[in-house]
Structure 1
Amino acid sequence: MNDNAPSALLVDDVWVALPEELREELLTRRRSSTGWRGYRRQEWDGRHWEPLRPVIIRERAYRGLGWLTARLLHLAVEACRRRAATLGELHRALRFPHELQLMDPDRPLVAAELTRYARPDLLVEQGQPRLLEFNNSTRLGGDTVTPRLAEAYARLCPQSGLHPPPSSVTARSAALVRTLGSQVGNGRPRRMLVPACWGIDANGTRRRHERIKKPVLADAERVGLEVVQADLVELGINAAGRLLAAGLPIDLVMFQWGSDRIVDDGGGLAALRSADRARTVELFPRTESALISSKAVLAWLHEDCDAGLLDPADSALVRTHVPWTTCLGLDGDPAVHEKLLRMATDERDRLVSKPAVGKSGNGVLFGSQTSEKDWLAAAVHAARESPVVLQQRVESDRMTMPFLDRDSGQEIVAQVPYVLSPFMIDGEAASVGVRHMGPGVRAGDVVIGASRGGFQSTALIAPDPV
């Protein structure tokens, strides 16, 4: 087995294991430093709290986390390939609720294409990481904030041995270069397009997807890419089938939009599709990678374990690190549906109901917080509209987090739940996004998200003990 393989992977926040002198020095410098105002939130009591430290992870645990998530992503694609031969078939099998406007329905499922860019969410339960969803997408929150925060924290105590993971920004630039292979840096510019567009989100709101973020632009230029920023309406195709943006031929397209329905593209989407089908342009990441983000895929992993389709090591990996998950709304067999509903009623306190495809905790119901009548009705109604998963409830570990209210100077220490979200780029872990709740978090189950009052943070790596 690979040395990084998590045969007994534990991923703890090891802040309290650091020398007391180092902890006090980091907190003292953090209190006196500036530039953190965007890193605070208003709590229920009206205070504007700032967390004063990052999560601290051991080097070996970080490597194990990367190995684990990469392996689970690969197994997820294998589960999809058992049920679909093409992307179009997979879209239908998942009852995926969004149109993927650049998807080639006849394209085969290729793990290396569908897992290039992901940010899985993992809760930690008794030290064990438990994967809740894969979050494969063209647009992942925190891609620039996470490494910036990590670098800022590392600068507070540069001689401490604490250091950031590889940056998600530089890791993505390296992936862009790999996409073009030897074509980069051979004397003629290789152009990367970052298209801007208008989209309609799930709430029907029209919004603008703007252009490339400054850190991403600077790093793409550092690795030798000529970045072109143009609206979809400025795209076209030349006689050779090459994609043109404002008249310039494009070699690579990097997407910055998520699942919104793109509107008023002026034929730009058709131009992108034509160039992609003609294989005259590369896409990073491919928009259909979002299919793997459906939590129904986690249910398929458990189905395959039960059917004996995974080897013993992979089966143990899934059962240990993926909470038991089943799906309502995919299988039309009434007997299967009835059995799942009975189980959902009997095991309500141990389950969470979630949309198979969703974000920000919308539509999430904890059985422990819902009456039997409301629980069953909500799950059945939601499954008629779009697939719903029932997932084993994970009891998140809590970490000790100091908070500062700069307005009053008050400090408070709270035990808060947290989520780890390593950026996985071409199978390798980069920055670790962290979300945790504030000092006013209630006891019991809670959705840990920015829209629910969570803080966006980061992780530093500590050397393994000698």
Structure 2
Amino acid sequence: MSDPRGDAPVVDLYDRLPEEVRGRIDALGREHWRRGHAGVPRLADSWCPTRPLLLDADAYAVVGAVADRAAGLVLQACLRRVSTAGELLEALSMPLGQFPLLDPAEALTERLLTSMRADVMVERGVPKVVELNIDGAIGGAIEADLIAAQFQEVYAGPAAAADPSGSPLRTPPSAVDAFFTELVSFLGLTEGGCLVVPVFREDGLDHLADLDDFICFLAPMAERGKAYGITVVGYPLDGLTLDDRQRLRAGEHVADGVFRLFLPVEQAGPGLDALGAALRAGTARMYTPEATSPVSDKRVLAWLWEDLDLLGPDDRDFVRRHVPYTVIAGAEALGEDRASLVLKPGDGYGGAGVVLGRSVEQEEWRERILAAAGSGDHILQQVVEADLVTFEFAHETTGEIRSAAVPCVLGPMMYGRGLSGIYVRHGSPKRGDLINTHQGAASNSVLIVESPTVGR
């Protein structure tokens, strides 16, 4: 869990590129932004960035190294308190019924760090881990791959097919490829195996509202599975059944493995019951086990700060530098400067329940803090004053081009503790307090700039 290049600043390099390269990026992005975002789900009336974030190789590697080290320290914080998933639920006062597919006896090991996406914000060039998503259901792999590859093709032009070395930009390793490599290894799938991806409806996300559209969205993963000799089947969760041998069936297909993209507690029904029975019978395996979910609870970041005196000097310095000060929310926070704090539910996602102190009046802040203190399941975290990156945006409907300087959240896609692409979310000309795609944030990706092209 070393961080050998932790001092390399994470900075968008657009302004440091030669003028002719910037001009080409601008002109091609304005003309072909739809091509760059083809296949990427987005809300109606949205603004699309006309270029990706541009990082050099060192900055790209630092983002991954910081995310990985933070995850390792979070697991250690859990293990200082408990040893199994069930014990972790008890330590966090989380009911077992909230995790219907979780095995309470499952040991907390590094195996659970198989699939991760940290939420990283950059302040004065320093990456800060504000959240850790440790779960197979993390989003961003498809978007990170599509946007990076499609913009790289736009910039490179037809000549690059014959000589890719002529382009100053390159794509990171494929997140979808890394995902499949790790998933196949984790589940022990062999050629001819069947991986079932249960699909479900989720209001507010267009590509999850219609099951046929959802299955189409998974097409890149299904295609990639062919390279591994794996049949990938998107199938409605509610339609899963058990046969007389306690095997999980998706129509005519028998599942050897299941890729879980959903929160089980939100998808109760006969299909979930069938999946649970197959897991208990050992006839199917799931990526990832639900034990990954409580390890992602944001309160564990507060444990890191509680445990500072138990850490070695290097780890203490790492936490102070790369993890914003985080505590479990209590009434004593009412004496703190609310403008510097953000309140978050420990196990929330999609921005639900997140409140910036600077965005509400004092009385509302007081009410929220007292409610959080009573429940014990929220954190308070120091606000990261994120560096702003200037992008041009094109409006989805009108095609209008507008420039805006916006904060970014970098999501390094980590499979098997290795970095493969970065899913980026950032603000847009349509302002909002939170950077979340559920609330209108733009999806983006990263291209790596070859160092000789960068102005010094």
TM-score category, normalised to shorter length: 0.7 to 0.9
Q: Do the aligned residues in 2 keep the contact of 1:150 with 1:164 (CA within 8 Å)?
A: yes
Matches within 5 A, 1:150-229: 150-158=148-156, 159-181=166-188, 184-185=190-191, 189-196=192-199, 211=215, 213-229=218-234
Match of 1:325 in 2: 326
Question: Structure 1 residue 49: deviation in Å?
Answer: 4.0
Count of aligned positions: 434
| Aligned partner letter, 1:107 | E
Helix, strand or coil at the partner of 1:192: strand
Counterpart of 2:11, as a letter, is D
SS of corresponding position for 1:120: strand
Whole-angstrom CA distance in 2 between matches of 1:231 and 1:41: 23
Instruction: Report the CA distance shift for 1:353/1:167 in structure 2 as closer, same or farther (over 3 A).
Output: same
Q: Contact (CA 8 Å) 1:198, 1:263: kept in 2 or not?
A: no
Tell me how far 1:126 sits from its aligned partner. 0.6
Give the Cα–Cα distance (whole angstroms) in 2 for the partners of residues 119 and 169 of structure 1.
13
Post-superposition offset of 1:354: 1.3
Counterpart of 1:335?
A: none
**Structure 1 counterpart of 2:349, one-letter code:** K
Task: State the match for 1:337 in structure 2.
Answer: none
1:454 to 420, 430, 441: 441
Q: Any idea what the Cα deviations from partners look like across 1:75-114, whole Å, max 9, x if unmatched?
A: 111111112221111112223477121100111111222x
Give how far 1:360 is off.
Answer: 2.8
Shift of 1:257: 1.6
TM-score, normalised by the number of residues in structure 2:
0.85
Contact 2:47-2:430 at 8 Å conserved across structures: no
- 1:142 aligned residue (122, 137, 140): 140
Q: Structure 1 409/223 Cα, relative in aligned 2: closer, same or farther at 3 Å? A: closer
Q: Which amino acid aligns with 1:140?
A: I
Mapped contact 1:184–1:224 kept (Cα < 8 A)? yes
Q: CA deviation at 1:440?
A: 4.6
TM norm structure 1: 0.84
Higher helix residue share? 2
In structure 2, relative to structure 1, the CA distance for the partners of 1:319 and 1:423 (3 Å cut) is same
Provide, for residues 333-383 of structure 1, a one-character-per-residue CA deviation record: whole Å limited to 9, x for no partner: xxxxxxx42344233232111111212322222223333332222111134
User: How far did residue 322 of structure 1 move?
Assistant: 0.5
Q: Which residue of 2 aligns with 1:333?
A: none
CA displacement at 1:162 relative to structure 2? 0.9
State whether residues 138 and 290 of structure 1, in contact with CA within 8 Å, keep that contact through their aligned partners in structure 2: no
Q: Is the 8 A contact 2:240 2:275 kept in 1?
A: no
Q: Shift in Å at residue 229 of structure 1?
A: 4.3
Partner of 2:118: 120
RMSD: 3.0
Superposition pairs for residues 378-457 of structure 1, below 5 Å?
A: 378-385=368-375, 387-405=377-395, 410-441=400-431, 446-457=433-444
Give, in whole Å, the separation in 2 of the partners of 1:69 and 1:248.
37
Structure 1 vs Structure 2: percent identity of aligned residues?
A: 31
Where does 1:77-88 land on structure 2 (aligned, <5 Å)?
A: 77-88=75-86
The residue aligned with 1:109 is: 108
Give 1:326 shift: 0.4
Code of the aligned partner of 1:184: T
Cα separation, partners in 2 of 1:217 and 1:275, compared to 1, 3 Å: same
Residue 66 of structure 1 is matched in structure 2 by: 64
CA offsets per residue over residues 380-419 of structure 1, 9 Å max, x none? 1134346110111111110111223587665332211111
| Residue pair 1:163, 1:460 contacting (<8 A) in 2 also | yes
Aligned-pair CA distance for 1:23: 1.3
CA–CA separation in structure 2 for the residues paired with 1:15 and 1:59 = 14
Structure 1 residue 50, shift from structure 2 partner: 3.4
Residues 1:95 and 2:82 are matched in the alignment: no
SS in 1 for 2:267: strand
1:288 corresponds to which of 286, 291, 303: 291
Structure 2 unaligned regions, length at least 5:
157-165
2:223 and 2:424 mapped to 1: Cα distance?
24
Distance across 1 between alignment mates of 2:416 and 2:183: 10
2:226 matched to 1:236? no
Using the TM superposition, give the Cα deviation of residue 323 of structure 1 relative to its aligned residue in structure 2, in angstroms.
0.3
**How far has the Cα of 1:281 moved from its partner?**
3.3
Task: State yes or no: 1:303 paired with 2:302.
Answer: no
Of the three residues 42, 53, 56, the one matched with 1:55 is: 53
**Cα distance change, pair 349–430 in 1 and its aligned pair in 2 (3 A):** same
Give unmatched runs, 5+ long, in structure 1. 329-339
Q: Residues 421 and 433 of structure 1 are in contact (CA less than 8 Å); yes or no, is this contact kept in structure 2?
A: yes
Equivalent position amino acid for 2:172 in 1: P
Change (3 A) 1:15 1:206: closer
Conserved? CA contact 1:200–1:263, under 8 Å: no
Which digits, 9 at most, give the CA deviation of each residue in 1:407-460, with x for residues without a partner? 766533221111111111111111211111112537xxx311223332111111
Checking the alignment, whether the CA contact within 8 Å between 2:124 and 2:387 is kept in structure 1 is: yes
Residue 127 of structure 1, CA deviation: 0.6
Q: Shift of residue 294 of structure 1?
A: 1.2
SS of 1:299's equivalent in the other structure is: helix
Please tell me whether the aligned partners of residues 187 and 287 of structure 2 are also in contact (alpha carbons under 8 angstroms): no
User: Deviation of residue 324 (structure 1)?
Assistant: 0.5
1:416 and 1:441 in contact (8 A); partners too: no
